[in-house]
Every structure is written in structure tokens, then in C-alpha cells.
Amino acid sequence: MKQIIPLLLVLTAFTSVAQTGKDFVKDNFTKIDTVIRTRDGIKLYTIIYVPKDNLEKYPFLIERTPYSAGPYGDTNYAKRVGPNPTLMKEKYIFVYQDVRGRYMSEGVNLEVTPFIAKKKSKNEADESSDTFDTIEWLLKNIGNNNGRAGLYGISYPGFYATASLPDAHPAIKAVSPQAPVTDEFIGDDVNHNGAFFLMDNFNFMNYFGKPRPGPLKDYGAEIFNINAKDLYDFFLKLGPLKNTQSEKYYNHKSTIWNEYLQHDTYDEYWKSRNIRTHLTNISVPTLLVGGWFDAEDLFGTLHTYEAIEKANSGNNNRLVMGPWTHGAWESNDWNKFSSHDFGSNTSKVFQDSIETTFFNFYLKDKGSFNISEATVFETGSNQWRSYSAWPPQAVKYTDYYFKRSQGLSLYKETGDNSFDEYISNPRKPVPYTNGIFGYRNNDYMAEDQRFAAVRPDVLLYETPILAADLTLAGNILADLQVTITGTDADFIVKLIDVLPENEPNFKNAPRGFQMAGYQRLVRAEVMRGKFRNSYEKPEAFVPGKITNVKFELNDVAHTFKKGHKIMVQVQSSWFPLTDRNPQKFMRIPDATENDFQNATIKIYHDAANASKIVLPVLIK
């Protein structure tokens, strides 16, 4: 969830301080704390770091955030400014602003504030207008500026960067939304394909969703205290989603949590918060950044890039995808993750060769910026690739069919009535990760799936051993033919790279760890079955009727090496990452414990009903 951002800033600030000296910011910048009045009269608390020297006129580099622009006070300096240490040394006029309704700014904060098109009066304000008014004030009141501004941000601040693009101020010359929150019902943070991401949101809103009486520097304690060491056990005992509103927990104190439970379909609440529909007439140079192991906003990066591409023929829009978790591209060193060893410091490559050159070129006319349309790190082969389009033009979408005896093949079965089945028991849901954790285990994005493969409620299908390398580059489509005995069910599809039985352990592997036969997760996604045809109008299943459930998994850039196998796993729970489906067609926030029921799920793979996964195979 979005809560990783404050932690990330602390970590990167610590490492950069070691590189530049603890007083670098204080020695080189003058700090100004001020408020900027927007067109509707709201005062936004803004902190500005102005270079002390006058060797050149400097552009503004702005981050608008709901996570505190602090430290507050003219004499209380941040240990680091800017998105990375190289840009800090380059020197810009760095601007941090509390968005309206958060921390020291006035006003009311809305969850992913809806954009207002064709505003009719000054009282109609949104994040676009707040950004416009901020830049207008900065240009007039902060001396020695060169008349240009750039914006950046990771996660929620990434949304605010995106929101600057519609009706953009003419001084905005470069924007980098990084892991931006984009569409919280279909793919980011709150829901994926209508399935509620319980664990992350329950923990995040415990502090972010706390009521605020007015501007303040510290929100204080969380709404409630759980101290759970085993979140699987905690959420199972918590019971139905409605129990989160008990006196012990939210108790209707959080406006946003109330909204989440109220809006359980893709209604106007969610549609109005989908910034993608407003990304038209965008000509500002834009750099979209994301990570293949981002558990929070992988969808946001890919689909913000896609939206700008589709709606703007003359855009200047580029995509960078690396082997990173949420925001890890701004860490000091990122050469490993989970069981992956990437062989280089991928975050340093991004900071110095891409991010810094992007802002320097468009805001300072310094150097050049000529990277390809898409710069992506290919996992499996551990190489950076450059493409003129994303997905690459040389991709062939290839059907891999589920087969009898756990097979996965380029060819359909020829017989009739061929299927596998399992019983999905919502009281014993499939865990999303192997182990006991009191927090989200980020490693699940590349975790060994053998713990799930042995369960009777998980189906698996795999290819023979690959005779040659096979590279995927683009989005994945799960296309299932199913029957269920209930009226609703979730479907989780996982794409897995199965390592050979002679695979050696990586250097310094934990005792007892075995890479041999490792079933490494490449990509996974969930679909809440009732939304299979429409997010706006859910439909019940007809028990026993063969039904098509089709949905996209987020993109990949991955090579399955010669000697490996491709595996697909299918299951109907992913707990407590997602909430439990009672497997009964209803408003799940209203479900009681008695509504939860077992369901027998059948996945068909015969000639007439051929379940498959469609993979983007790169033709070399």
C-alpha cells in the first residue's frame, strides 16, 4: 500500500547523507516555510529550498504529498532534498507541499481527488488547479528562477504528479509520475478487478484515514492498535469485512474506510477518481517509472503510460520498468531482491542515467535525453532492454492451453468433458505467502510457490522442459472456462518460472534454502468473478453452468531460460492479501459469517471449453 513512501524516504535520505555530508542541504540551500493561497482561498503549506549561490537561474522541482512536506520551520532542514542525491547536487529550487486537507495545509482531503473538467468558477478546485496556482505563485515570488517547473512523486505523490498534466500550467516542462495511484477499483491499491486488498488497506488507513481536526504537524497515534504477529490468523479471526467497523477497530471513524466499504462496484465514486480518462492533449515530456515487483502500483505505471500513448498522438512519453519493489529505484543500492541477483546496481543506473538526465535536459537545457520509448529490465536474463514501443512490436500473443495430467501446451485437448476441480473453503483460504508474518511480505512477488502447489485447492499446469530460452514482453491474458457450485467466486492465476532440479543456490542463501525446483512467481492477479463481464453491473454465476472468466495480468519482461518450465497455478483465495469471497452473490461488505460457503470449482480443458493463458512471446 502507499505507506511505504515515508519509510523509503527515510532510508534513501540516510544513505544520501552519508554520501554528501549531514549538513549539505543547510550549507547549500536557504529554506523558506510559507503558505500559498489557492483560487478558492485555501492555504497550502509549502516548503522551499532555494540554492544559496546565484551562478545560474534555477528551475523548480516539486513534490506534492499527503505524507508531510516537513520538517517544518525555517531553521529545521531536511537531511536530503530532491528525488535522488545526484539531482540534489545539481541544484534546483526544491519545493515540497502538503496537499489540501493533509498535515499543515487547510481544506478537506479527498481520496485521489477527482479532476474537474471545464471548471465553471474559482470555487471548483482540484489537484490540477492547486498545482497551477502553486506554480503561478512560485514564479512571481521566488527569485532567480528560470521560469520552468518539473514535478515528480512516488505512489500517492505520483498521483499528484499525474494530476498536474490535465490543464497544465505552461511553465511545467517535465513530469515524472512514479508508481502513480491511477485506478483504485481495477488495478491499484484498493481493489484489483473488484477484489478488495484487505491487508494493505486495513493497515494503511489505520493512520492515513485518521480524522484530522485541522492543520497539524503530526497525526499522532493510529486509530487502533492490533500488534498482530500472524496476519493470516488475525484476519481469519476478525471474520467478515463488516467486522472492521466494530468498536475495537474503525468504528466508522475513517471517512475513506467508510467509502471503501460503501462503494463495492465500479460506480461514480471510483470512475471520478480514474485520472486516466483525463490524460488528453498531453504534450509535456513525461517519464513513467515503475517496478516489476511493485506490490502496490504496478498497474498505475503501466496504464498511465498506456493512457497517454492512446490519447495523445504527439506525446513525449517514456516508460521505465526495472526490477524494483515500490519506490526501490530511489534506494541507494538495488542489485538483489528475494531470490533474484540482478548483477548490477539497477537503482543507480536509473538515478544517474535516466532520472537526472531527464530533468536536467527539460528543465535546464543541460546535456541530452535520448533514451528509447521503453527502457525495461528483463528478469530471468538480467538485462536492460530498449524498445521503440511497449509492448514491443515483435510480440506474438501465444495460447498455452491447460491439459490433462497438469499439462500446459500449445495444443488443445481433443476430447470432451475434461476438467480439474477443487473445493474452495473460505474458512481455510489459500495464503498469499509461505510463513507467518505481521506485515506484508514483499517477497511474495517472486516467492517460491511450492507451498501452494501441494494444496488440494490449487491447480497447476506446466510445460515440458524448455529446449530454448523463451522471452515474454507485454501483458498476459487468463482465459478460463469454469463452473462453480455457488453464485460467485474469485479466480487467482499465477505465472511461474520453474527452475531445474540441478539449479544451484545463490550466494549466501539461507540455511536449508533450495533453489533446485524453485517455483518462482513471475506474475499473479485476481478477478472477482461477479465482475467478469462488467465492473459496474456484477452478475451472479449460474451454478453448474460453464462460464468464461477472462482477465488481464499486469505486464512482464521475463526470460524463461532453457531447461526451465512454465507453470500456471489457479486458485480461488489469496488471503489476507485479498478479502475472502463468501462464494455467494451479494454485497460482500454486508456478509455475515453464515454467508461464507464452500464451493466446488471446475476448470475445463477440453476441445469445446479450452482454458488457457495467452503469453506475449517476443520473436527475436
Boundary (domain end) residue, out of 361, 387, 413: 387
Q: How far is CA 593 from CA 260, 339, 402, 590, 596, in A?
A: 20, 39, 35, 10, 6
The model's pLDDT over 409-425, given as tens digits with 9 standing for 90+, comes to 999 999 999 999 999 99
User: Among 362-371, 492-501, 508-517, whose mean pLDDT is lowest?
Assistant: 508-517
Tell me how many domains the chain contains. 2
Same structural domain, 354 and 441: no
- Exposure string over 195-211, b if 16+ CB within 10 A, otherwise e: bbbbbbbbbbbbebbee
> What average pLDDT score do residues 209-213 get?
95
> What average pLDDT score do residues 68-73 get?
98
Same structural domain, 403 and 383: no
Same structural domain, 305 and 430: no
Query: For residue 9, what pLDDT is reported?
Result: 41
The answer to the question of residue 60 being in a domain is yes
Residue 511 pLDDT class (50, 70, 90 cuts): confident
- Pairing label, strands 340-341, 336-337: antiparallel
Strand ranges in 128-193 using DSSP code E only, listed in sequence order: 145-154, 172-178, 191-192
Query: For residue 1, what pLDDT is reported?
Result: 53
Same structural domain, 356 and 451: no
Boundary (domain end) residue, out of 337, 367, 387: 387
For residue 33, pLDDT beyond 80: yes
Cβ atoms of 591 and 516 within 8 Å: the answer is no
Query: For residue 10, what pLDDT is reported?
Result: 39
For residue 2, pLDDT beyond 80: no
The model's pLDDT over 75-85, given as tens digits with 9 standing for 90+, comes to 999 999 999 99
Boundary (domain end) residue, out of 387, 405, 424: 387
**CATH number for the domain that contains residue 573:** 2.60.120.260
Report which of 402, 398, 424, 339 is spatially closest to residue 568, judged by C-alpha positions.
402
For residue 145, pLDDT beyond 60: yes
Same structural domain, 141 and 23: yes
Same structural domain, 341 and 462: no
Cβ atoms of 59 and 48 within 8 Å: the answer is no
Same structural domain, 298 and 417: no
For residue 507, pLDDT beyond 80: no
Long-range contacts of 213-221 (CB under 8 A, 24+ apart): 214/106, 215/45, 215/103, 215/104, 215/105, 215/106, 216/103, 216/104, 217/68, 217/70, 217/72, 217/103, 217/104, 219/103
Query: For residue 510, what pLDDT is reported?
Result: 74
Same structural domain, 473 and 573: yes
Same structural domain, 374 and 410: no
Same structural domain, 153 and 32: yes
Mean pLDDT of the chain: 95
The answer to the question of residue 236 being in a domain is no
Q: Which residue has the cell 480461488?
A: 572
> What average pLDDT score do residues 13-28 get?
69
The answer to the question of residue 359 being in a domain is yes
Structure-derived torsion over alpha carbons of residues 501, 502, 506, 512, reported in degrees to the nearest 10: 60
The answer to the question of residue 267 being in a domain is no
CA 411, CA 403: separation in Å to the nearest integer? 9
Q: How far is CA 278 from CA 117, 189, 543, in A?
A: 8, 20, 40
CA 105, CA 400: separation in Å to the nearest integer? 53
The answer to the question of residue 570 being in a domain is yes
Q: Which residue has the cell 467466486?
A: 489
Residue 20 pLDDT class (50, 70, 90 cuts): low
Please give the model's pTM, rounded to 2 decimal places: 0.95
Query: For residue 504, what pLDDT is reported?
Result: 87
Residue 56 lies in domain: 4-183+273-387
Same structural domain, 377 and 401: no
> What average pLDDT score do residues 308-318 get?
94
For residue 22, pLDDT beyond 90: no
Same structural domain, 563 and 539: yes
User: Among 33-37, 55-59, 116-120, 503-507, whose mean pLDDT is lowest?
Assistant: 503-507
The answer to the question of residue 473 being in a domain is yes
Residue 575: DSSP 8-state: B
Residue 506 pLDDT class (50, 70, 90 cuts): confident
CA 349, CA 334: separation in Å to the nearest integer? 10
Query: For residue 620, what pLDDT is reported?
Result: 84
The answer to the question of residue 52 being in a domain is yes
The answer to the question of residue 223 being in a domain is no
> What average pLDDT score do residues 567-589 get?
98
The residue type found at 137 is: W
DSSP-assigned beta bridge partners for residue 326: none
User: Among 48-57, 363-372, 379-388, 502-511, whose mean pLDDT is lowest?
Assistant: 502-511
